[in-house]
Structure 1
C-alpha cells in the first residue's frame, strides 16, 4: 500500500488512471447502454420493460455501484495528486466530485423501487395496473432528474480539475482546456433537458461539448496510465 504515499509517482498516477478508465467503462454501460437498450424508442412502459429483462436491469445497477466505488477512489487520489498545486482548488474539486457521487447513490433508491414494483416484490395491490405504470414512469423521471443534478456538480469538478491541470504544468495544456470547455457540456445538457428541451441549438451545442470532454477525460486517464504527471 506504500504506493499511495507518493501522489506524484508514476505508479500512483497509473493506479488513478486505471480507476478512471474503470469509471468510463462501468459508467458507459450503466448510464448509456442499459437505459438505451431498455427504454430507447420503446413504448411498453418503464415497469413492463424492466419486468421483461430484470437481470439486465440489475446489471445496470451493478455497473452504477462499480462506477461509484471507483469514483470514491479517484476523488481521493486526484485530491492528493493536485494538492501541491492548490490545496483550496484541489479540495473544492474533490468535494464537487464527491457531491456528484452522493447524488448518484441517492438515485439507486429509485432504481431499487422500480425493480421491486416491476418484479412483484412490492405488489402494490391497492393500485390498479395503470396507477402502477404511472408510478413507474414517475420514479424513472425522478431518476433522470438526479442525472441533471449530478451533472451540475460534475461540471464544477471538471472546471476545477481543468484549472489544476493547466496550472500544474504536469500534463498537456490541451487536456486542461478540454476539461474546462467540454465539461460545460454537462451543464448545458441539464439545462436543455430540464428547462429548455425545445431549443435545438442547445442540443447541438451539448453534443459537441460532450464529445470534447469525453475525449479529454479519456486522454487524461490514458496519460495517467501511460506517462504520468511530469513533476520536476
Structure 2
C-alpha cells in the first residue's frame, strides 16, 4: 500500500467528506434516537400505534432524516474512495462498494416504516393493524442491522486504509476497525442471538466515538503548506 501525500485537492475532499460525515451522524442519530425511538416500543403494539398516530409529523420527519442520511452516505462513500484510491485502489474500491450496499439496504428498508404508517393510517379497514404495523417496525430494525453488516466490513477496510495510508493518525484507523467489529458483532447478535442484543448495546458507544473523532479529523484538515523557493 502506497503512502499518501497531502495535496490541496485531498484536503478539500477531506473537509467535504467530514461535512457529509457530520450530516450522517446528526441525521442518523436524530432519526433513530431522537425522533423514532421515543415512539416505538416493540413490546407494546397498541401503545406504539397510539404514539405514532399522535405524532405523525415526528414519525415522517424521522424518515426524512434517514433519507438525508443515506444521500449523504452515498456522497461520502465516493469521496472516501477518491481520497484513498491512490494508496490502495482495490481496497478503496471494495470499501466504497460495501458502504454503498449498506446505503442501498438502509434506503430500501425505509419502505418498512412507510408500510407501518400506511397500515396504521388505514386502521379502520384492517384487523389488528397495531400488531401488523409493529411487525414492519421490527422488520425495519432487522433491515437496518443487515445494512450494518456491510458497513461493518467497510469500517474494517477503512480502518486499514487510514492506518496504512499515512494521511491521518493511525489511532483513527484503529478506531474505525474497532467500530467495524462492533457493528458486525451487534448485527450478528440481532439475527442469531437476540437475547444478547440488549446487553451488547452499550458497545455501540465505541462506534459513535470512533466515527465522530474521524469526522472531526476530516473537518479540520488544513491545506498543505506551500513550499517557497
Say whether the fold is shared (TM-score over 0.5): yes
Aligned 8 A contact 1:171 1:230 in 2? no
Q: Structure 1's 116 and 206: CA in aligned 2 closer, same or farther, altered over 3 A? A: closer
Runs of 4+ in structure 1 off by over 6 angstroms are none
Question: In structure 1, what is the equivalent of residue 116 of structure 2?
Answer: 114
Deviations 1:122-180 (A, max 9, x none): x572x32x2x2221111112111101201100100000000000110111111101111
- Determine helix, strand or coil for the equivalent of 2:194: coil
Change (3 A) 1:152 1:108: same
Counterpart CA distance in 2 for 1:219 and 1:91 is 23
Q: What is residue 210 of structure 2 aligned with on the other side?
A: 216
Task: Report the counterpart of residue 3 of structure 1 in structure 2.
Answer: none
Q: 1:207 aligns with which of 202, 206, 217?
A: 202
1:163 matches 2:160: yes
Matches within 5 A, 1:171-182: 171-182=168-179
The aligned counterpart of 1:93 is 95
Shift of 1:36: 2.0
Aligned-pair CA distance for 1:48 = 2.6
Shift of 1:191: 2.0
Structure 1 length as normaliser, TM-score? 0.85
8 Å CA contact 2:36, 2:58 repeated in 1: no
1:33 maps to which residue?
A: 34
Whether 1:56 and 2:58 are equivalent positions in the alignment is: yes
- The offset of 1:211, in angstroms, is 2.2
With normalisation by structure 2, the TM-score equals 0.87
C-alpha contact (below 8 Å) 2:10/2:83 kept by paired residues:
no
Give the conservation status (yes or no) of the 8 Å contact 1:54–1:119. Answer: no
Structure 2 residue aligned with 1:70: 72
Structure 1 vs Structure 2 CA RMSD: 2.3
Aligned residues between the structures: 218
Residue of structure 2 equivalent to 1:153: 150
> Which string of whole-angstrom CA distances, capped at 9 and with x for unpartnered residues, describes residues 23-56 of structure 1?
0000011122223211258733443321111000
Partner Cα distance (2:185, 2:18) in 1: 27
Q: Which moved more, 1:38-47 or 1:219-228?
A: 38-47
Deviations 1:105-125 (A, max 9, x none): 1111111111222223xx572
Q: Is the 8 A contact 1:185 1:205 kept in 2?
A: no
Structure 1: gaps (5+ residues):
1-5
Q: Secondary structure at the match of 1:189?
A: helix
Select the residue among 136, 145, 167 that pairs with 1:139: 136
